[in-house]
Structure 1
Amino acid sequence: MLKVFALALAVLAGAANAGAATLGDDGLHKEDWFSLTFRDMREDIEAARAQGKRLAIVFEQRGCIYCKRLHEEVLSDPEVRDYIRGNYMVVQYNLFGDEEVTDLDGEVLTEKKAARKWGIVFTPTVIFLPEEPVDAPVSEAAVQVMPGQFGKMTTLNMFRWVREKGYAGDEHFQTYHARKLQEMRAAGDTLSD
């Protein structure tokens, strides 16, 4: 009887962790829906576009408590995860990594040198790339940057705002976000942030 109980607990624990982020050898939390690429910005933008998606890259680092929260509290939420997975190709970068990256301007450098070149100092930081490659460094080509870890609705609304090309319009993200939250309250939805 005790063995059956232990087996049932193991099955439940496995089911609870299904789809959960895992910790990679590099110390970064991994989502099974993140894309593994050769980190060539032009190719990645084209690959995302071919899938009908936008490219977003996320910088993280080993031991980052905010990165852990992003994965455990935000990206684990089905609404957030499903929206991002359905609309974005996400590629993870290590703030102190040595993997080779090819910038949009053609420069080949390591992840850590790319982070410096692009001005990334916080983790996590999400960089949203344009729909088509341009001849400029990622730091100049980015349509939006989200530095730091935010709650579910702020994160989800940022991804929605970029997908809807809010950056090209007159409605600032904060105004968009406040409007979306107000619409949810009016519909009787409970908000986490």
Structure 2
Amino acid sequence: MFRPYSLSALVLVLGLFAPAIPAIAAPLGEDGLHKTPWFAMTFRDVAEDIEAARAEGKRLAMVFEQRGCIYCAAMHEKLLADPEVADYIKENFVVVQYNMFGDEEVTDLDGDVLTEKTAARKWGYVFTPTIVFLPETPPGEGTVAEAAVATMPGAFGKWTFLNMFRWVRDKGYESDEHFQKYHARIINELRAEGRLDAE
């Protein structure tokens, strides 16, 4: 008896023979870092950036990158180019890019004036990309590393990446639900909805 293939099986078969779709090329800046156009350009005074983000009803996220970082490129070309990821971050966060080996001036929350590279050393950030999430208001004392409510070092898949932004926005760091438990719960919900396409 003839049984027709399901649409999902047909899509899978056709996908095996389709040419690979190239990643969206994120343009490179003069500093060699990939540029996502909706990242904020600021004077990198962290307290001012926190306040500016709050005035927009958003949170501040700082992303450390370096020239030639393949994981940074993947973050720009795959994760930040994904409309679901980009739309959520743009709606809820102000993102400021830092060059781990850069010389642009940075003002820490404790008032220290540094360069990007000395700030990265002071705060202990050694991986790229590293995304640092700051509190809703400047703490009034301490450093960025001490004030950060969460830090995401390294490259992750779509749902880990996006769920960290959601967890911070939902103030998960103030609750008893650790990020890993939050992430597992969201993944289970996505599976139940049939929306899980990664991780």
TM-score by length of 2: 0.87
Matched with 1:136 is: 142
After the TM superposition, list the runs of 4 or more consecutive aligned residues in structure 1 that deviate by more than 6 angstroms: none
Q: Mapping of 1:36-185 within 5 angstroms?
A: 36-134=41-139, 135-185=141-191
Matched-pair contact (CA < 8 Å) for 1:21–1:32: no
Q: Aligned partners of 1:119, 1:106: CA distance in 2, in Å?
A: 17
2:29 is matched with: 24
Bigger Cα Rg: 2
Q: Counterpart of 2:74 in structure 1: which amino acid?
A: R
Q: Does 1:188 align with 2:194?
A: yes
Task: Give 1:187 shift.
Answer: 1.1
Contact 2:65 2:99 in 1 (8 A): yes
Contact persistence 1:129–1:138 (CA under 8 A): yes
Partner of 2:18: none
Deviation at 1:189, TM superposition (A): 1.2
Letter in 1 for 2:188: Q
Q: In the alignment, what sits opposite 1:33?
A: 38
Structure 1 residue matching 2:173: 3-state secondary structure: helix
CA distance in 2, matches of 1:20, 1:132: 35
Shift of 1:20: 5.7
| Root mean square deviation, CA, Å | 1.4
Q: Report deviation, 1:149.
A: 0.8
Deviations 1:126-183 (A, max 9, x none): 0000000011100000000000011111000000000000011100101000000000
Distance, in Å, in 2 between the alignment partners of 1:54 and 1:190 is 27
Secondary structure at the aligned position of 2:111 is classed as: coil
Q: Is contact 1:152–1:192 with CA below 8 Å preserved after alignment?
A: yes
- Structure 2 distance, partners of 1:20, 1:48, is 28
> Displacement of 1:43 after TM fit?
0.4
Percent identical residues:
69
User: For residues 124 and 99 of structure 1, what CA distance do their matches in structure 2 show?
Assistant: 18
Unaligned runs of 5+ in 1: 1-15
What is the TM-score when the length of structure 1 is the normalising length?
A: 0.89
